[in-house]
Amino acid sequence: MDKKQAKERIEELRQQVEYHAKKYYDEDKPEISDFEYDMLMVELRNLEKEYPEFQSKDSLTQKVGGTVKEGFQKVTHEVPLQSLQDVFSIEEVKDYIMKIEQKAEENQIKQVMYVVETKIDGLSASLEYKKGEFVRGATRGNGMVGEDVTENLKTVKTIPMKLKDKIDITVRGEVFIAKNDFEKMNQEREENEEELFANSRNAAAGSLRQLDSKITEKRPLDIYIFNVQKIEGKQFNSHYEELEYLSQLGFNVNPIRIYCKNIEEIEKAIVKIGEERENLSFGIDGAVVKVDDLKFREILGTTAKTPRWAVAYKYPPEKKETKLKEIICQVGRTGVITPMAILEPVKVAGSTISKTTLHNEDFIKEKELKIGDMVVIQKAGDVIPEIVEVKKDKRTGKEIGFEMPKVCPVCGAQAVREEGEAAVRCTGIECPAKLFRNLVHFVSREAMNIDGLGENIIQQLLDHSLIKNIADIYTLQLEDIASLKKNGKKFAQNLMDSINKSKDNDLHRLITALGIRHVGTKASKLLARKYKSIDNLMKAELEDLSAINDIGPIVANSITEFFGQEQTKDLIEKLKSARVNTLAKEEENIDNRFEGKTFVLTGTLEEYTRGEASNLIEKFGGKTASTVSKKTDYVLAGEEAGSKLTKAQSLGVTILSEIEFKEMIR
């Protein structure tokens, strides 16, 4: 490679690592694996070393990645939170130790001791204490300036708010999410049709960097402390001694720390951690080798980015080859049909893998997967197994292509993939796989509003085979419900009253309860107002539906597909038999004073919930929107109104106080 080619490649690599660092550190949404990113950095570092004339202080090889997220206060770290120099082979570790030993000899230090610790896969943070009380916490940021996440860190149960010694101290730790908790989080997100977290590190980072600490509180964050950044009134000789003291203070200290005196012991420690890696409850991506003597650390010093007294050995991702025996489809609670790979069992990173998700139709096409292919399996973040490569050169010609099913494999209803979406969905309302979620939605407050029929009771009714479809709610007997609770007669009577009351609901609630894709409460009210009965709506033509304001072709198509299903027709007949109202009620004293007007609600109102205020606006013929634009007529602003109020002011939109709104609806 000549100088011109080297310069071009260095510039190309810098752009790539900057882009991927931004996705990783700032957006918590990586697009490539840690290993792929590391390899880009290694190539860049080697080229910069070979061609020093092209080195730059702005290169990510010379500085810590990460910026301060908008909305957080900045925190300047008194002691920089540096990153570690990564190495990828035992030979590189040996080279590093040899340099340390040479430096020790130059300074007449006879014996250098080391501590080998796990490199936890999480987000680095500093915790500051005054007189033993937690006062401030911050993310690493760019190493010099981080984000003030004090309130979020207060929600982490393993962070002590008060230490066992009234001391001024700043410590550094790694915030993470345990493997089991991460799997549960992703399972819940999949069921709720939310984007899955790429790995536990980004899940932890995204959770800690929430602007609302109530969201952070719901996430299973944990922390291990691994360093003293600054301390007043105490001195230590060794890092190991510091860690022992941190444990005594009440900190959750990195549990794996192995004392070593030479390269042979260091190598054994690295191998041992690698072998036990699979059994750890938390994810790691390496082992850190640290010089134990704190005075020697001062002699060794640091670069602008990394300390010279520590190095991180990164374990390579383990890959194994196996056969794709079959592709089956599973139906989730929301009706999403997910293809699953059935594999010849293979051991990867300590556990036997026999199946893995193939995500969606696009993933299969992108990889050009066929049943019978030899594939390469890797564990993403040491937790989730995934297919990373297809060995096309090993094909025999007997491999079979795969297509997503046109009907649901559980109930036989039509399976559809809408334009712009990756998921294929079951459209059957009586599909057993979707039943729990359909029931929860049917009885919810915005739908049939059956008070007392929560998720726990629904699950019990299903477990006891007391209901097998939505309409069975209306065939429940008092004694059936009472049997679910000790002394449950009063509860059963209240629930029966609520079920019977729901039979008299207006038509728009029933339409909402059916859970037609893209049809929410607003669209349900429009449809009920226009068609007056469920029978008329079921017979509505696609063209007529598309012509309704705020419905449009996508929603219209969803409605006609839904009512074209035999399962839907069956359910409606059952609901009619149970005497559930299917007609729109006549509205008395129709008042359309807000007709053609669009409102946006922001902030907290004193006398109304957002839902109540929206219902009043719609009652008078108006509609609500979630964003402010030039088409917005009014912004109803309560306490602590935010960016929507600012935008309304800049656009000259009329802003209403709650008092002014009450005058308008009087």
CB atoms within 10 A of CB 365: 12
Q: Which burial class, exposed, middle or buried, applies to 440 when counting CB atoms under 10 A from its CB (0-12, 13-18, 19+)? A: middle
Strand partners, 125: 139, 173
> What is the distance between the alpha carbons of residues 449 and 631, in angstroms, rounded to a whole number?
33
State phi, psi for 357 to the nearest 5 degrees: -70, 145
The 654-656 sheet, strands edge to edge: 623-625, 598-602, 634-637, 654-656
Instruction: Name the token pair of 503.
Output: 């039979």
Q: Which of 580, 559, 550, 557 is nearest to 516 (CA)?
A: 559
> What is the distance between the alpha carbons of residues 263 and 191, in angstroms, rounded to a whole number?
48
Inter-residue contact 581 to 500 (CB < 8 Å): no
Note the helical H segments in 595-652.
Answer: 610-619, 643-651
Q: Which of 77, 5, 98, 88 is nearest to 39 (CA)?
A: 88
Sign for the CA dihedral angle at 591, 592, 593, 598 comes to positive
CA-to-CA dists, residue 448 to 209, 473, 503, 511, 523, angstroms? 37, 11, 8, 9, 16
> What is the distance between the alpha carbons of residues 33 and 314, in angstroms, rounded to a whole number?
13
CA-to-CA dists, residue 570 to 279, 305, 400, 575, 580, angstroms? 50, 67, 38, 9, 14
Alpha carbon dihedral 363, 366, 371, 374, in 10-degree steps, equals -110
In this structure, which long-range contacts are made by residues 473-481, counting pairs with CB atoms below 8 Å and at least 24 apart in sequence? Answer: 473/439, 473/442, 473/443, 473/499, 474/499, 474/503, 474/575, 474/578, 474/579, 474/580, 475/578, 481/457
Can you tell me which residue has the tokens 């989080």?
Answer: 185
Q: Radius of gyration of the chain from Cα atoms?
A: 31
Q: Buried b / exposed e across 248-267, counting CB within 10 Å, b at 16+?
A: ebbbbbbebbbebeebeebb
State phi, psi for 265 to the nearest 5 degrees: -70, -35
Active-site residue among 7, 119, 323, 644?
119
Q: Is 119 tagged catalytic?
A: yes
Q: Which of 154, 322, 138 is nearest to 229 (CA)?
A: 138
Instruction: Name the token pair of 528.
Output: 């009920």
> What is the distance between the alpha carbons of residues 91 and 33, in angstroms, rounded to a whole number?
24
Residues that are catalytic: 119
